[in-house]
Amino acid sequence: MTLPRGVARQMRAFRLVLTSATLSVAPLYGAVAAQAALPCEPCGKPPSKHVVVVDGHPLSVWAKRPASPRGAVLLVHGRRWSSLPNFDLRVPGEQRSVMDALAARGFAAYAVDMRGYGATARDGTGWITPDRAAADLAAVLDWIARQEAGTRPSLLGYSRGSMIALLAAQRSPEKLSTLVLYAFPGDIDARRPVAGDPATPPRARNTREGAGEDFITPGAASAALREAFVSAAIAADPITVDWARMHELNATDPSAVHVPTLMIAGSRDPLAAGTAHGRLFARLGTEDRAWVILPNADHAAHIEHSHEAFIHAITSFLMRPRKTP
């Protein structure tokens, strides 16, 4: 029996989903030792701060750069908390800095505070929108390429940041080498209504309860780590950033993404449950793709006990042999 071409392609895609999900879970923790850390001069120190001006607005970009990087990665935070709590968390007795871990493996690690987050002020509108955020990422990728002698960076988005990273990769594929979608929180089939936003941004205060809500898996992180994250998150982002025009995400089209793409999520992440990730993975326009599930991890997998497996999954994908486009 010969299947229609579209049906056959989807079946092959879902076989890839099952293969990647099954094969990627088990070996991660045992394999992390294979990636030896290199001497890392910036590790353990505060990141350097840079200002990238996009359409007249200054964006704060943090960096940890080894002496001779093998590549560069731009890290994009999620909806509520900015770069440093997420990607350079300091916990006594625990290594949880994503930036340090990438730098120790030879990658120049950059992290951007989007408009209104961390060290980046809101712009004159008081809002941030998906289109504005995606355009900002494209400009920061250009800036990183100039810092790294023309090397195209990788782009890693976390939670809502992964939705914006997907949009940026779709619109500006020439600006990045690979894409990592971590803890993608939405259903690619969901349609957001075109609705009016409030006249003025609410500017609600963030809470300690909200800062700890992603730590849901018993034993996945220490109490000290949870407290360190909560304190750092509230200090960096005391006021909630206000998003508008979320219907702009309706333009997202995974089939238009042709750069190598890794999807990664915790097995117990409630925002990654169900079949939504499978549909997203199946529709990606690139054959160079992988899907990794981290066991006993949730929406904060990158700073939980799964931290090393998270780093290993990312750097393995970035370093695997592939032809230069």
- Domain at 87, CATH number: 3.40.50.1820
Q: Is 96 contained in some domain?
A: yes
73 assigned to some structural domain: yes
Q: Over 60: is that where the pLDDT of 307 sits?
A: yes
3 has a pLDDT exceeding 50: no
Number of domains observed in the structure of the chain: 1
SS3 261: strand
Residue 324 belongs to some domain of the structure: no
Residue 325, in any domain of the structure: no
Containing 57, the helix (H) or strand (E) segment is strand 57-64
> Over 50: is that where the pLDDT of 31 sits?
no
State the average pLDDT over residues 257-262: 98
- Segments in 148-289 forming alpha helices (H): 160-171, 208-211, 223-236, 276-283
Residue 240's domain spans which residues?
5-319
Residue 54 three-state SS: strand
Torsion of CA 267, 271, 272, 275, to 10 degrees: 130
- The answer, yes or no, to whether residue 209 has pLDDT greater than 70, is yes
Query: Would residue 229 count as lying in a domain?
Result: yes
Looking at residue 128, its pLDDT comes to 98
Residue 186: the pLDDT is 86
**pLDDT attached to residue 25:** 43
Structural domain contains residue 252: yes
